[in-house]
Amino acid sequence: MRNTAKITTAVLAAGALTLGLSACGSDKDSASDTSGPLVVAASPTPHAEILNYVKDNLAKKAGLDLEVKEFTDYVTPNTATEDGSVGANYFQTQPYLDDFNKKNGTHIVSVVDVHLEPLGLYSHKVKKADDLKSGATVAVPNDTVNEGRALQLLAANGIIGLKDGVGTAATPADITKNPKNLEFKELEAAQTPRSLDDVDAAVVNGNYAIEADLKPAEDALVLESAKGNPNSNLLAVKEGHEDDPRVKKLAKLLNSPEVKKFIEDTYDGAVLPSF
């Protein structure tokens, strides 16, 4: 039976208060005790699924004791890594990590890229992006990087225009062309697929699309290109823990041929190996 603890967004506020970004963690916390299991915080899909594949099929032979903790938000995994409640996390992209560190004073670093989840535009009301009516409402993630990434997706497909050079820092205020007069509803990333009955379309992160039984390769009106994409999901640790032998073992396993095959066989193009 998998040793997986599920922590929902309902405990986010309490968790943030308990953890505290300034906390250092005890001498016996998960990150400092390299003799114990490596505890990794992860989003349920596909991150925890990939980690559990490693745990069930590869870890024992590699001499790795791995424990997976599931989180449904994009904040607690980093605060828990910062204070040592977990030894690593696997849920985010480098642009998101850079932005999080800058805004929160955390010291989390990338270890290895693992996979890409193409961001897509979905709708329960139209079958093509061109069919969106004037004044339609589009939900987008409200965190800085994913909102910018969502707007870049729309711009790349000619749905809107953006100021030059705004990159993943783009917000609706940076829109220079909006021929359909679209209105944007900013939501927590996890809420975007749940909003599809209430909005005309929504830009959804790949992991949340999968959880909502959406098939990016089939259901997305427009889909992010994998070629040259900087938004690979990565294994991350607090700075100074990169050489933890447990982390090195996990990084090697996550970039193994077995994991590559598992990703390709399981997600049918909705998740793409980045190695």
pLDDT at 225 over 70: yes
Q: Quote the CA–CA distance of 92 and 236 in Å, as a whole number.
A: 8
Give dist(CA 150, CA 237) in Å, integer: 26
User: If pLDDT is split at 50, 70 and 90, which confidence band does 12 have?
Assistant: very low
pLDDT(1) > 70: no
Bridge-partner residues for 120, per DSSP?
204, 223
Rg (CA), the chain: 19
pLDDT in tens, 17-50: 333 443 344 434 555 667 899 999 999 999 999 9
Residues 97 and 107: beta-carbon distance below 8 Å: no
User: What is the Cα–Cα distance from 68 to 17, expressed in whole angstroms?
Assistant: 22
Instruction: Supply the pLDDT for residue 28.
Output: 47
- Token look-up 């190695």 returns 275
- Residue linked to tokens 């077995």: 258
Q: For residues 147 and 4, give the distance between their C-alpha atoms in angstroms, rounded to a whole number.
A: 30
Q: What is the pLDDT of residue 22?
A: 38
Distance CA 258, CA 53 (A): 10
| Total residue count of the chain as it appears in this document | 275
What gap in Å lies between CA 246 and CA 36, rounded to an integer?
9
Specify the residue for token string 């041929």.
257
Angstrom distance (rounded) from CA 183 to CA 134:
9
- Residue recorded with tokens 């990016």: 216
Whose tokens are 């208060």? That residue is 17
Q: Tokens for 266? A: 């399981």
- Amino acid (one-letter) located at 28: K
Helix axes 76-83, 12-19, angle to 10 degrees: 20
- Beta-bridge mates of residue 272: 116
Does residue 105 surpass a pLDDT of 70? yes
